[in-house]
A and B are shown apart, each in its own frame.
Chain A
Amino acid sequence: MMKNSRQNASNRQENFGENSKKGQKEPEQVLGQNVPIGSADYLAPESLNKALEYRSRYGYKAVVIAGGTDIMVDYFEKLPEVTSWLDLTKISALKNIEITREEIIIGSLVTHLEIARNEELKKYLPLLAAASSEVGSWQIQSRGTIGGNIVTSSPAGDTLAPLLAYQARFVLASTEGEREVAAEEFFVGPKDNIMEPQELLTKIIIPHPPENTISRWWKVGKRKAMIISSLTMALLLEVNKNDRIQSARAAYGAVAPTPLRLESLEEYLTDKDLQEVELKKAGNLAEEAISPISDIRGTEEYRRQVTRDITIEALREMQQR
């Protein structure tokens, strides 16, 4: 659940040395007193404050783990290189789903399985619930967390396009306090984001979508399960009773270095009668706005063509609903 964590062991040792010169305590001294589970290498705090303390002290030197479905793969056959783990899974404060009048607040440790099966989330945030239900497999969904998906920041992360479409905000906490960041500003490159080494993602805040919202989630991959998406789409239109599109949000994953919203397509759709949307024009706008790469999950040409096709198909379905 952490970026830039792959330093080698000698780097980490040097960094510890530098820190101690600056007057910080040696981590080993602290560990014995604070780690209930009883190991110098394994930090498993039950409170968020304790976790943030560790985070400010260790930064990248402790590998943050929650569900482990990304981290354990990153460290496959290199687990002994990790000198310190910061395991978040005992922090129950990060496992809540709270629904207020204005917002839906999801703790960063909520699993994909919990999101996929939560009746209220299915009702209020169908794009997110659908995306979570297609992550990996049952085994992956029962461990993998929404926070992990966000912090890993893969352009192909399944929940990311829905989070952009829902205009989610992420709460990043540190011992200094909290800051809230819009999903769109969070991702800055493949597996890269704006988080600082002392921060933890604690909550995802999503404003309630208006009631007259229609939406379509689409995941394209070589098979249905256990696949890294070739591309994802979360399309959301707010349509009034005269079938006029009042607002449009079109978010795509795995078609650019970060998940992204296609402003040109959104502008084209906004303030238009749904029935008057020219499907080909919308498809072309989507195709032009993305900047995909060719990789083992699809060529650039394939991604452009499929982006166009699923955009057209989703809008067609919406017109015929």
Chain B
Amino acid sequence: MKITFTINNKEKTVEVSPHQRLLDVIRKELGLTAAKEGCGKGECGACTVLLNGEPVASCLVLAPQADGAEILTVEGLLSEEGDIHPLQQAFLDAGAVQCGFCIPGTIMTSYRLLQEKANPERQEIREALAGNICRCTGYQKIIDAVELAAEKWQAGGEVQ
């Protein structure tokens, strides 16, 4: 069956089978490999993408359910020139990335949080990211990174 959706501001029509997951379509059919499969059961958050503006575990979404939807992945955060997004830069500057497997999901949830709340408290960041599990960092630097990104935006740019 054919489904059509917008991903990273581009409209795509893809042939999918009804039991394909959105995560598999994004990774295998479209070759966008930022979103990762960790647990496959919605518990780890590594596959987080924004679906119609909210973070979802893309391993728990059937591909046909994304018909007509708007999807954003980390690849969609890059500027037209290919520069990384200030939020990604903040993760680098804060040293928030170790193995990196969970980071694309963490970035997408953080991105949504900062859209909603320009200057979140540390506790609010923790709560927002509760569904993004990281085995390496111990989370402190991830929270630092989101705070840093929030500061940068407040100082200059805006969340797109």
Taking Cβ atoms with an 8 Å cutoff, the residues of A that contact B are 37-39, 41-42, 44, 65, 67-69, 72-73, 76-77, 79-80, 82, 85, 87, 89, 113, 136-140, 142-143, 224-226
Contacts and interface: CB of A to CB of B under 8 A. Distances in A.
A87 B18 CA distance: 11
A156 to B, nearest CB: 15
Contacts, number: 97
A80 B132 CA distance: 28
A41 B112 CA distance: 34
Interface of B: 1-3, 18-21, 40-43, 45, 48, 51, 54-57, 59-62, 64-65, 67, 109, 112, 127-128, 130-133
Chain B interface helix/strand/loop/mixed:
mixed
Given A72-B60, A226-B130, A139 B65 contact: no
Contacts of B21: 72, 79
A79 B48 CA distance: 20
Contacts of A41: 18-19
B1 A37 contact: yes
Contacts of A89: 65
A135 B36 CA distance: 23
Nearest to A84: B18
A64 B115 CA distance: 33
Given A39-B18, A39-B64, A65-B62, 12 more contacts: A37-B1, A37-B64, A41-B18, A69-B60, A72-B60, A76-B40, A138-B130, A142-B51, A143-B57, A224-B130, A225-B127, A225-B131
A44 B54 contact: no
B50 to A, nearest CB: 9
Contact of A85 (B43, B45, B62): B62
Given A72-B21, A137-B131, A138-B128, A44 B57 contact: no
Contacts of B48: 139
A139 B62 contact: no
Among all A-B residue pairs, the 6 with the closest Cβ atoms: A137-B131, A225-B130, A39-B1, A79-B19, A142-B54, A42-B18
Residue in B3, B43, B128 with the greatest tally of chain A CB atoms within 10 Å: B43
A89 B56 CA distance: 15
